[in-house]
Amino acid sequence: MAKKKLIRIATLERFPHIIKDAEKFKGNWKTYFQNNNPITAELGCGKGDYTIALAERYPQKNFIGIDIKGPRLWIGAHKAEFLCLSNVAFIRFRIEFIADYFQQGEIQEVWITFPDPYPKRRQENRRLTSPNFLNRYAAITTPQSKIHLKTDDDVLYRYTLEVLEKHNHSVELYSDDLYNSPLMNELTGIQTTYEKQHIKQGKTIKYIMFTLGNSRKASGRSII
């Protein structure tokens, strides 16, 4: 591993926004944030671009970025410290274990930003929108919690729509070309590090917003 990455891993926990032993806050995140404000999680947050941008816009909400890669979180934590954000936390762990960190209903909103597509069929279970992962999210959110996916990957986009329909989850909004759709707005238009690269390469950005309540099928508000 490059020296810079090793240094970042070694110094990661010096940042106040990086939470050590975060399991201890399960069910009690208000003691960490010192308030009862709703919590949004960014999964596979990388450098925490969405976490930081949303935290700046919504000081009355709390934001937690989660990723397994320490050197990427280092960058988000550095930014959060520089901006003196008190409504941001970053945690390093595998999303497979998310239910160890949050209790049912503790997360009000989720952003899954440009997850690895894992295109091979045998890798399907590793996709962050596979049924196993959706079950994990159901264990920490409410049936009304909005879950947003942004991806450049056509296969992952279509796969996610299929999984959501098969499991009778509610697809609220979707577009296979976000930037040329009415779904483009101040929030969906926040750009992550990976997204900027995809846009430079001329790829179209896809977006799905869904909930894990199983009462409704894709609604008439959906836009392709």
Ligand X SMILES: C[S@@+](CC[C@H](N)C(=O)[O-])C[C@H]1O[C@@H](n2cnc3c(N)ncnc32)[C@H](O)[C@@H]1O
Q: Does 69 bind ligand X (CB under 6 A)?
A: yes
Sequence-distant contacts of 130-134: CB under 8 A, at least 24 apart: 130/163, 131/163, 131/167, 133/95, 133/96, 134/163, 134/164, 134/167, 134/169, 134/212
Q: Which stretch binds ligand X (CB under 6 A): 8-16, 21-29, 33-41, 113-121?
A: 113-121
Decide whether 149 or 183 has the Cβ nearer to ligand X.
149
- Say whether residue 154 binds ligand X (CB under 6 A): no
Interface stretch with ligand X, choices 18-26, 90-98, 140-148, 157-165 (CB under 6 A): 90-98
Cα distances (angstroms) measured from residue 200 to each of 77, 153, 204: 26, 15, 10
Among 63, 67, 101, 207, binds ligand X (CB under 6 A): 67
Q: Tell me how many residues contact ligand X (CB under 6 A).
A: 19
The angle that helices 154-166 and 131-138 make with each other, rounded to 10 degrees, is 60
116 part of the active site: yes
| Shortest Å, Cβ 10 to ligand X | 18
Q: Which of 195, 207, 211, 212 binds ligand X (CB under 6 A)?
A: 195
Residue 11 in contact with ligand X, rule: CB under 6 A: no
Report the residue number, 114 or 170, with the smaller CB distance to ligand X.
114
Beta carbon nearer to ligand X, 13 or 165 = 13
Q: Tell me, what DSSP letter sits at residue 192?
A: -
Q: Does residue 95 touch ligand X according to CB under 6 A?
A: yes
Q: Position 115: which residue type?
A: P
d(CA 155, CA 121): 11
Q: Which is closer to ligand X, CB of 26 or CB of 126?
A: 126
Catalytic residue from among 49, 67, 100, 116: 116
Rounded CA separation 223/172 (Å): 9
Residue 146 near residue 110, CB atoms below 8 Å: yes
Strand, coil or helix: 157:
helix
Q: Quick check: 68 binds ligand X (CB under 6 A)?
A: yes
Burial category of 218 from C-beta neighbours within 10 Å (exposed 0-12, middle 13-18, buried 19 and up): middle
Residue positions annotated with a catalytic role: 116
Interface contacts to ligand X, rule CB under 6 A = 44-46, 49, 67-69, 72, 94-96, 113-116, 192-195
